[in-house]
Every structure is written in C-alpha cells, then in structure tokens.
C-alpha cells in the first residue's frame, strides 16, 4: 500500500478540517494478474490543539479486485503546535 503522503508532520493550520487523501495499492503485476486500486482514508480521531500539537489518526480500508477486504494499520500524522 502506498499512502499518498509520508507521515511527515503537518502544522496546526493544515490540521483544521484535514481530509486525509486516499491510498493506492498494487501487486506489481500487469494485465490479467494485476490487482490494484485505491483505499479510502478515514479520519479515526484527531488528538491535537494549537498550543501543544498532537496527532491525527488515519486508517485506510477497501476491497481489492478479488473482493478481499483490505485494512491498514492506523497511521498517526504528527501535528506541530502553532
């Protein structure tokens, strides 16, 4: 799975109303054997404030071409204080 951004810190003004981008996945094959797609990002919980910073938790879920349910670990994105 390839999250659309690394887990680089973001600033509090970017965290306000943050909508996590979707992630893509692939098995690296082409043609009939290809299994790739996009997983939907879900904001699990924001734990930050403008004085202390904190983090935003994101999880990716969806289905592959074969109908298998895919779920990522929860990814924490650090939020830097103002």
Tens digits of per-residue pLDDT, 27-44?
A: 999 888 999 999 999 998
Q: Report pLDDT for 77.
A: 87
Note the pLDDT tens digit of each residue in 5-20. Answer: 456 788 888 888 888 8
Contacts of 75 (CB under 8 A, 6+ apart): 3, 7, 57, 58, 59, 60
pLDDT value for 2: 46
Is the pTM higher than 0.85? The answer reads: no
């Amino acid at each position: 799975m390839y999250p659309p951004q690394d887990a680089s810190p973001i600033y509090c003004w970017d965290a306000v109303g943050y909508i996590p981008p979707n992630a893509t996945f692939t098995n690296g094959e082409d043609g009939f054997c290809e299994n790739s797609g996009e997983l939907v990002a879900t904001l699990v919980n924001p734990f930050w404030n403008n004085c202390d910073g904190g983090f935003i938790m994101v999880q990716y879920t969806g289905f592959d071409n074969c109908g298998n349910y895919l779920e990522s670990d929860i990814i924490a994105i650090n939020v830097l204080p103002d």
